[in-house]
Amino acid sequence: MNRAPTRKGKMQERLQKIIGRAGIASRRHAEQLILSGQVRVNGVVVRELGTKADPATDKIEAAGRTVGVGTAAQRNIYLALHKPPEVVSAMADPEGRKTLRNCLRGLPERVFPVGNLEYAASGLVFLTNDGDLAAEMLKNWAQIEQVYHVKVKGMLTLADLDRIGKEVGLRMKTVRQPDATRGRAANFWYEVRMRDSKKDELRRLLMKEMHPVEKLMRIGLGSLTVEGLPRGRYRLLKEKEVEELRRSTKPGNKGDLRFDEDKRVVAQRPKRTQWTQKMERPRTHTQHETERSQRSGMPSKPEWPRRSHVPQKNDRPDRSQKPQGRGRDRKSPGGRPVPPRS
């Protein structure tokens, strides 16, 4: 088997990694290109996986495109796309259906999606030509938190949400319904948070509970959110957003995340200190009265005179005195004196 004549350099890497970082194809697709003989290094066809080369000194050709010597350095692109429903989450489809390429018109660089989103589902899709970040995300995909909006047939109670969440291993809660202003909705939306692909288990369980899933929308992926992004459009991510995404894909990042209902931003929950724990404790009615009295300078409660003796249960009545209400002292209901008894 012929090996490619490569010059010894300090930055030799595997060919599939170089091709993936250049944005020509993903690493898995790059391996297929190598096995099919579509990769050349310095004019020699390479068919063996694991072959290394230096893009700074070697000329690498893959699928008719050149990488390495004589090519300009390609910038890394990071995109957030709001995928419409009934669109394949890929750049090509053998069945001729719509793909993400139809939503990326006007983008000269070649990017590829990281992860997969169902054909009938809509929501956030992350695309890039950075092979290193894509490989790291796919490797730690089970550690990345995903937020979905799920529309089911009918309505689930709070007890059903807790029971289903514990059985499948995710968190569910009710969200504000889009058509709540027009009257009571027949089918309700719920927010689902999961860290790995448990959509199939959730779908089977809801079907068993006679509440099948009707619509599915991904609104959050790691530190990214689809808020403010119209359907079918994309936007370039800033460096700060990319760094937050890198931190959220690390294996050790298992912090609890919260979802802001107003801003729709996934953020890290701050650590609870002694001061925050003291502020989170509910205050009693007595504490409220004491604070109000200190501010106004008035006593919190009126001071009533105390009894010298509080009657007890076992106290015996004093029979030394005559009972009251007899004779002329006793009056009838009408107010007239009652004659004494004979």
Flag whether pLDDT at 260 surpasses 90.
Answer: no
Asked if residue 101 has pLDDT above 60, the reply is yes
Q: Which of 6-10, 132-136, 318-322 has the highest mean pLDDT?
A: 132-136
DSSP designation for 200: H
300 or 52: whose pLDDT is higher? 52
| pLDDT range class, residue 234, cuts 50, 70, 90 | very high
The C-alpha atoms of residue 206 and residue 214 are separated, in whole angstroms, by 11
CA distance 126 to 338: 98
For residue range 277-305, list pLDDT tens digits in order: 444 444 555 565 666 666 555 555 555 55
Mean pLDDT, range 229-254, rounded to an integer: 85
pLDDT of residue 194: 87
pLDDT at 66 over 90: no
Pairing of strands 122-128, 213-221: parallel
Torsion 246-251-252-256 (CA) sign: positive
- Residue 81, number of CB atoms within 10 A of its CB: 25
Mean pLDDT score of the chain: 76
Query: Which residue did the predictor score with more confidence, 300 or 45?
Result: 45
- Mean of pLDDT values over 238-260: 71
State yes or no: pLDDT of 271 exceeds 50.
Answer: no
Residue 167 pLDDT greater than 50, yes or no: yes
Instruction: Express as a percent the part of the chain with pLDDT over 70.
Output: 65
Write the pLDDT tens digit of every residue in 125-156: 999 988 888 888 988 888 888 999 999 998 88
Going along the chain from its start, the domains and CATH numbers come out as 13-68 (3.10.290.10)
CA dist 204 and 342 (Å) reads 91
308 vs 215: which has the higher pLDDT: 215
pLDDT > 60? residue 269: no
| Rounded distance between C-alpha atoms, residue 286 and residue 275, angstroms | 21
Q: Give the mean pLDDT of 14-28.
A: 78
Give the containing element (helix H, strand E) for 160.
helix 158-168
- pLDDT at 168 (0 to 100): 86
